[in-house]
């Protein structure tokens, strides 16, 4: 499934390392559109948050710009690209609730039920094994898992999650417990 399958040596993540400096300019408005739609439909994130494939920290930026950090008791930015996560840490690393973990979504170094909510925005189609990443998200999240999938891709939806709509070019799925 995604490009990462043919590049298990890390080529996909090296590409993100190279494009990290321009990533914000290219994708911020698209990602913000998705956040706005999801949070209007489901409510704002609260408690302990896991941002799977956090990139340069767009979700953290969005929370800060919209006054939503006060609802967050812990924010974990999980990202395989060292350059991308470095940018996120540069912007938010001084926040006491912010933590960054350089790791793959398919192998999260977190304990079971260790976060309230897990978000996977614009990650599904980039994963070699999205079902394993979903299993990991379901393992670590106590309350909610949200996954977006590119609408234009012929990717099957995440199994066991409820479709809530199409927002800004992505199909959005959720599991709430």
- Domain enclosing residue 88, as ranges: 8-31+44-145
Residue 21 has a pLDDT of 67
Question: Residue 10: what pLDDT?
Answer: 59
From the CA atom positions of the chain, what is the Rg in Å?
A: 15
Q: What are 122-171's pLDDT values in tens digits?
A: 999 989 899 999 999 999 999 999 999 999 988 888 999 999 999 999 99
- The pLDDT of residue 20: 65
Q: What is the pLDDT of residue 3?
A: 45
Model confidence at 93: pLDDT above 70: yes
The answer to the question of residue 86 being in a domain is yes
Residue 163 counted as domain residue: no
CATH value at residue 141: 3.40.50.150
Domain count, the chain: 1
pLDDT at 121 (0 to 100): 97
Q: What pLDDT score was predicted for residue 154? A: 81
pLDDT of residue 53 exceeding 70: yes
Q: Is 172 within a domain?
A: no
* pLDDT for the residue numbered 66: 96
| pLDDT digit string, tens, across residues 3-40 | 445 444 356 666 776 666 667 777 889 999 999 999 99
Q: Is the residue at 167 inside a domain?
A: no
pLDDT band, very low/low/confident/very high, at 1 (cuts 50, 70, 90): very low
pLDDT for the residue 12: 63
Query: In this structure, is residue 122 part of a structural domain?
Result: yes
Sheet containing 170-176: order of strands:
98-101, 72-78, 47-52, 115-120, 141-150, 170-176, 162-167
On whether residue 39 sits in a domain, the answer given is no
Within-domain flag for 108: yes
Among the ranges given (19-23, 64-68, 86-90, 112-116), the one the predictor scored with the smallest mean pLDDT: 19-23
CB-count exposure of residue 164 (10 Å: 0-12, 13-18, 19+): middle
Instruction: Classify residue 115: in a domain, yes or no.
Output: yes
- Give φ, ψ of 49 to 5 degrees: -110, 135
């Amino acid at each position: 499934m995604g490009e990462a399958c043919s590049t298990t040596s890390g080529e996909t993540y090296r590409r993100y390392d190279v494009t990290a400096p321009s990533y914000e300019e290219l994708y911020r408005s698209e990602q913000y559109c998705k956040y706005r739609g999801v949070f209007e439909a489901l409510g704002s994130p609260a408690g302990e948050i896991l941002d799977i494939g956090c990139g340069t920290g767009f979700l953290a930026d969005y929370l800060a710009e919209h006054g939503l950090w006060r609802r967050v008791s812990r924010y974990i930015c999980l990202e395989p690209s060292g350059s991308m996560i470095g940018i996120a840490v540069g912007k938010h690393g001084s926040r006491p609730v912010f933590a960054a973990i350089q790791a793959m979504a398919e192998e999260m170094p977190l304990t079971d039920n260790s976060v309230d909510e897990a978000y996977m925005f614009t990650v599904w189609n980039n994963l070699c094994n999205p079902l394993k990443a979903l299993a990991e998200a379901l393992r670590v999240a106590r309350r909610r898992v949200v996954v977006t999938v590119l609408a234009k891709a012929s990717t099957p939806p995440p199994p066991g999650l409820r479709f809530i709509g199409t927002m800004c070019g992505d199909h959005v799925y959720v599991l709430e417990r």
